[in-house]
Structure formats: C-alpha cells, structure tokens
Amino acid sequence: RGELLPGDFLVVLGLFGTVAGSAITFGRLWVDFQSNAAGVRRVFFFLDLPNDDTLSGRAAVIGRTLQSVAFDGVSLVYPDGRQARREVSFEARVGQTVAIVGPTGAGKTSLAYMIPGFLQPTSGRVLLDGTDVRELDLNTLRDQATYVFQEHLLFSDTIINNLRLGRPAATDQQVEQAARASGAHEFIMALPDGYQTLLGRDGGTLSVGQKQRLSIARGLIRDTPLLILDEPTAALDPDTERALISALNKVKQEHLVFVIAHRLSTIAGADLILFMDEGRIVEQGSHAELMARTDGMYRRFVELQHGD
C-alpha cells in the first residue's frame, strides 16, 4: 500500500545490515589471505625442494685429500619458475681463497649452497675432484665442507661446547687456536668464566660481532677441506678483520676457502674473484686483473661501493 511502518523499517534496516556485513566479510577475505601469503610461499618453497635423500646415490667416497671444486654449466631454477643460476662454470683448487662478489640478489649465497648440497642444480654438474655431488652420499659430502652462515646460531650452553659443536673431540688447544684466529679469544677471556661462560638464548648477552667471531671459530675448529664463509667480516672491526684474513691465508694452504663478501679489504686478497650479476658469473680473475678492465663490471662495483 506504499506504507512503511516503524516495524517494517527496522526489518529492512536489519536486512541491509546483514547483507552489508556479509559483503564486507567477503571483501576482507582477500586481504586476510594476503597477510599470510608471504609466509605460506616460504613454507611451500621449502616443501618443494628436493630432500636430502636425493643425495644418497652411489655413495661414492672422497678422501681428505680433496683437491678441487668445479662448476660445469650449472643452472638452477626454483620450483616457482625463477631462474637463480645461469650456466655457471669455474674451477677452484685447494690453496686458493675464492671470493664470491656481486650486488644484492646476484645469487652469491645460492651458488655457495650448491657446494655442500644444500641446493641441487637443475642442469649442469657440481664436481668435487671430478665426482658429481649427486653421486656422493650425504654424509660423505658434508664431511668435506664447513659452512659458516651469515645468520649466527648459538645455543644455551657454554662457549666451549658451542665451539665444539661440529667437532666434539677437538682439544682445548685446537679450540683456543681457532678462537685466536677468529679474534674471539680476547673477549672470551674477559668474561667471568672464560670458555666455560654459559651463554643465554642464541647468545643474547653477546654483541653481533662477538657472535660472528664465535661462529667463525666453530667453523675453523671443524677443519674440513672446504671452508665457506658467508659475509664473515660484516660485523668485524678493521683490526679483527685483518687478523681473520691473515688466519685464512694460513688456513688455505691445506684448504679451499670460499668467501662471500662486499668489503674490498676482504675481497682484494683473494686468489680468484667470481663477480656475479643476475645469476651469472660475468667476470672472474684476481683483483688486479679485474681492476685492469676499464669498462669491467667488477671495477664499477668497487668504485661505487668504495669510492675508489
């Protein structure tokens, strides 16, 4: 009859509110999904990676006399289709320090991850003394390499037990020698209980630089043919950096040392520099050789980063 009674108005208003509320809920659904999407992508990224069982092939054995690491046309495509490595080839031998250099996102860390088998190449081969790492048993492969990650992980235990984590049988002398080489011995001895000092959760009572030095010492104690250091000098003062570089120069006589770094003082003394850009090694050689290229990408990188 064209009439709207007070009761009818309340019913219509309530119906409108119900419809509007449902529409808002559906509209927020996409926003709610996106707030968790980044974390879910990372979970599925790791779920899609090949597991460690893929490294248990013919169980080939390499002794402690490892002499070389070679990349032969190595490419890597992530499960989501992103190309991370493109036809990477180089060879490095024991007695060398190899610096992996390049802008952020160039693929330095993922290249280093392939050496101990954390990532497997989509095509090409990673060779240890001519043997494809995919033919090596996982334990055999990991016994050849020590990887000191950029993220420092320490446990709620004494300093000496943290340092012996990768080599429980290490003697006190070996522990102290590694701590001195990494520049950690002095601050350890300044603590109330020295090497028996109990660390808090993730070494919360220590500075970033101190935790980094402990992580490097732990890697040196393990004493494997391959030593891979991810940004080892990032949080070190110049004096400690020089001491560490000097120690690495001694270590490399019987080891092959890979260093991911940005500091020129760390890079310049390397025997071989691999300059990466967009997943490719675009230049390789010594610091002097690469700086001699007037239009080289490494030279431009050094000049931009260090103002030389």
Q: Which of 69, 52, 77 is nearest to 134 (CA)?
A: 52
CA 306 to chain centre: 23
Tell me what pLDDT residue 91 has.
93
The whole-number average pLDDT for the span 77-92 is: 83
Q: Is the pLDDT of residue 18 over 70?
A: yes
Q: Is the pLDDT of residue 290 over 70?
A: yes
CB 271 within 8 Å of CB 291: no
CA 248 to chain centre: 18
Tell me what pLDDT residue 189 has.
92
Residues 6+ apart with CB under 8 A from 101: 108, 260, 261, 262, 267, 273, 274, 275, 276, 298, 301
The whole-number average pLDDT for the span 60-65 is: 58
The whole-number average pLDDT for the span 137-158 is: 85
Residues 6+ apart with CB under 8 A from 254: 94, 95, 225
- Mean pLDDT (the chain) is 84
Tell me what pLDDT residue 1 has.
76
